[in-house]
Amino acid sequence: MTDLEVALAAAAAGAAAIVGRRPGRVEQKGPRDLVTEVDLAAEAAIVAVLRSHRPDIPILAEEGGGAWDAGTRWVVDPLDGTMNFVHGVPWYAVSIALERDGVARVGVVWEVERGVAWMADDRGARKRQGGAEVPIAVSTTADLGSALVATGFATDHAERAAFYAGRVERMLAEARCVRRLGSAALDLALVAEGTFDVYLESSLRPWDVAAGALIVARAGGRVTDDRGDVLGGARPSPLASNGLLHEAALRAFVSDAL
């Protein structure tokens, strides 16, 4: 199996552990950061597939931790959008990336309820739905006033309410409209396929963005941090766009970026 095939098989196993289930026990990792037994079951299913096919590659996973310092590693979010899942909002995903020598090479975002998968490797970015797989590309929107912009709020949103409100205010003033759907991985996938033109969020984790950022890049878009620098670190703050709007989005939405 290729690395992408392994990632797809692992994502399918994770999604199978989630679909049709409802959360029973809900625990708080932080005041607004939830984990359920379904997150844990999905992660176990994913890790089992990855270890079966690539036992030599360490894993960094949201619930289990792991390979923080490894240059070559799998980066796994077993259920991106746990808050949606807990509250019955059917919009959440499995996200799996493979990084080699510090560079993402494979990415899969698998939307659980519909079984839609976005994927990328060195051959480009594709979307699989209903058995059909098609290439995807970012939008061609060149005017920020015509852009559909996505955003999100990290678990510190109560403490930083004014910060987030200021960003949303600037988005509402400059863009056509703003959406907040509750899954960073899926927001990135929707930028990659051209549904969203721009996505901006702060203070995430590597497993939230590793796969989706690669998919955007392979679909012809651009991904940086929210100051226009290389995206990375333990708390990434991604700005993803179709490329045409990237500098304009930095100037309009991030007051101190440029």
d(Cα 249, Cα 258) in Å, to the nearest integer?
Answer: 10
Domains present along the chain, CATH in parentheses: 3-135 (3.30.540.10), 144-253 (3.40.190.80)
Strands 93-100 and 73-80: antiparallel
Three-class DSSP category at 163: helix
Summarize pLDDT for 194-233 with one digit per residue, the tens. 999 999 999 999 999 999 999 999 999 999 999 999 999 9
**Helix ranges, the chain (H):** 3-18, 37-53, 82-87, 161-174, 184-192, 206-218, 246-253
Summarize pLDDT for 101-156 with one digit per residue, the tens. 999 999 999 999 999 999 999 999 999 998 899 999 999 999 999 999 999 998 77
Sequential DSSP letters for 86-120: HHT----EEEEEEEETTEEEEEEEEETTTTEEEEE
Q: Which of 114, 113, 106, 117 is nearest to 50 (CA)?
A: 106
For 131, other C-beta atoms within 10 Å of its C-beta total: 6
